[in-house]
Amino acid sequence: MNNLNQQNFENNEIKELFRHAQKITLTPSERNRLRRTLEIHIEKHPVRNTAGERLIGYRSLLLNFIQLPNYRMAIILMIALLLGGGTSYAAESALPGDALYGVKVNLNENVRSALAVSPKAEATLQTELATRRLEEAEELAEKGKLTSALRSDIVKRFQKSSERAKTELTKMNTSSEKTAVAELNVQTESSFNTHGYILKAIGLKQKGEIETEIETILPVVQEKVESLAKERDDDEEKVKTGSSTDVEASARGKMGAAENKINTVKKAITKAKERNDEWATVEAIARLDVAEKTFAEGKIALEKKEYNNAFLLFVKSMSIAQEAMTLAQVSNFTTVQIGVVTSGTATSTNLKNKSDDEEKSKEGFEDGELPRPGETGQGTSVKINKEVQVGGTITVPAPWKYELPKSWENTESNETETEDDDATTSNTIPKSSSDESETPSSTGGGVMPQPGSTSTAIKACPEQWIVNQMPKIEDSKETEENEIKDSDTTEIENQYFIYKGIRRELSDFDVYWIKLNCKIQPQVVY
């Protein structure tokens, strides 16, 4: 007993002796310096393979859970495990009807749901899951595998997820949470809207049974979009009536968020470009452009201290950016559009007619009770029809009911008029001013199709690209090329390729493809 006491005493004494050692810590500057060095090192030496990460997560999961005061890490590891674990990982890409689809929706998604603790996390997740269902429908439809059984399963799950999201959102009542709810709603609305559009486009392309199935899905999606639009209206009222300091703070917060979103979209577009996703790129860039313009408007409003307005503009900018994001990410949709573009006028006309019919019957997804800004304008409806050929009406953003300043409305209509040019010029990689002159014949193949121009386009690298800049006047040029030239340059250029030793015209080639895939540069001759 005595011995034990003595030992305890000694122990405490020793502890006391070393107590001051705890004061030895890194100073903040030292700590940051080390962190930076480490960050640079990590950046320069990234993980070699993902399998390794999985092992770490897998083996140290329990230990970390016990030892680390940091719960977050355990959760991160758990998610890493989930995403990395063999079967469940393979199941992530499963489609309805696949063997692993059950694992995906019943195991993976439920575990994720269990991990989402807060109402916000749960709502975000359920929204994501609902969007996922739409993506699955798109993929199935695209592959021609969308049967009525699978469709009803997808619709059921879509409704379940979106209902759950809605229920979770009603739990969020504080003012800061309300803002988050509004934000999430706007994002969901635009996401559903875009997917609805994509589904419709696939339906128009696939026709027959697939189209019928898609027509059954669309009203469900439309209903959700409408109810979200209604909520957004209500939310806006709340924002408008909020106190000015609150609104200023949220407007500034939203500005940052919108900026981030726009940057993310830019990255996604770069990726889409990398995988030659022409349609996605053109459509997304057009959207991004609108988002950026709206963002700029928001900034102006912020400077003018019109905080409510600024807030709404930023939210709108974010939402449009979200649509651009969705478009840039829909890689499987590419084939549809390329199908439309390359199959020439015939398909375009079909689409055009259908689109006309829908406009008349007002049953189309993007019409009906969801009016677009400027839709009533005569010019717009013509434009819409024309645009269906490249990718459709979504270049005009979803039904916005915001009370926007007049300047915005102007931008919108200008945007519609100049959209084609914007899209094509920003889409191509500008090398020299001469580039602009032949873009219409490349991407323009979709915008203003000339029979036979794109359907037989050669996708091969020519040896030379000659730009003849001998000063001479040619009147027999194609109309749209002249138009561009008249406005842009006074020089008349005559461009052609040397392919297999023979002069070939630009119109024989898929110029966009060449720009992306060949190292060839225009060579100017005088």
Q: Which residues bind other proteins (CB under 8 A)?
A: 10-11, 14-15, 17-27, 30-31, 34-35, 37-39, 41-42, 45-49, 51-53, 55-56, 58-60, 63-64, 67-70, 72-73, 76-77, 80
State the minimum distance, in angstroms, from the CB of residue 38 to other proteins. Answer: 5
Beta bridge partners of 525: 468
Query: With respect to other proteins, which residue has the nearer C-beta, 18 or 526?
Result: 18
State the minimum distance, in angstroms, from the CB of residue 82 to other proteins. Answer: 15
Query: With respect to other proteins, which residue has the nearer C-beta, 38 or 346?
Result: 38
Query: With respect to other proteins, which residue has the nearer C-beta, 70 or 523?
Result: 70
Residues contacting 448, CB < 8 A, separation 6+: 440, 480
What's at 342, amino acid-wise?
A: T
State the minimum distance, in angstroms, from the CB of residue 83 to other proteins. Answer: 13
H or E segment at 497? strand 494-499
Buried b (16+ CB within 10 A) or exposed e, 30-64: eeeeeeeeeeeeeeeeeeeeeeebbeebeeeeeeb
State the minimum distance, in angstroms, from the CB of residue 36 to other proteins. Answer: 10
Task: Count how many residues are written for the chain.
Answer: 526
State the minimum distance, in angstroms, from the CB of residue 76 to other proteins. Answer: 6
Residues contacting 65, CB < 8 A, separation 6+: 74
Query: With respect to other proteins, which residue has the nearer C-beta, 26 or 382?
Result: 26
With beta carbons less than 8 A apart as the criterion, state whether 158 and 133 touch.
Answer: yes
Query: With respect to other proteins, which residue has the nearer C-beta, 69 or 451?
Result: 69
Half-sphere exposure at residue 413, Cβ-oriented, CA atoms within 13 angstroms: 13
Query: With respect to other proteins, which residue has the nearer C-beta, 78 or 94?
Result: 78
Backbone angles phi, psi at 305, to 5 degrees: 65, 25
State the minimum distance, in angstroms, from the CB of residue 91 to other proteins. Answer: 23
- Residue with the two structure tokens 């640079």: 40
Residues contacting 158, CB < 8 A, separation 6+: 130, 133, 134, 217, 220, 221
Query: With respect to other proteins, which residue has the nearer C-beta, 72 or 406?
Result: 72
State the minimum distance, in angstroms, from the CB of residue 46 to other proteins. Answer: 7
Residue 362 to residues 63, 300, 352, 368, 389: CA-CA distances in angstroms? 61, 37, 15, 5, 20
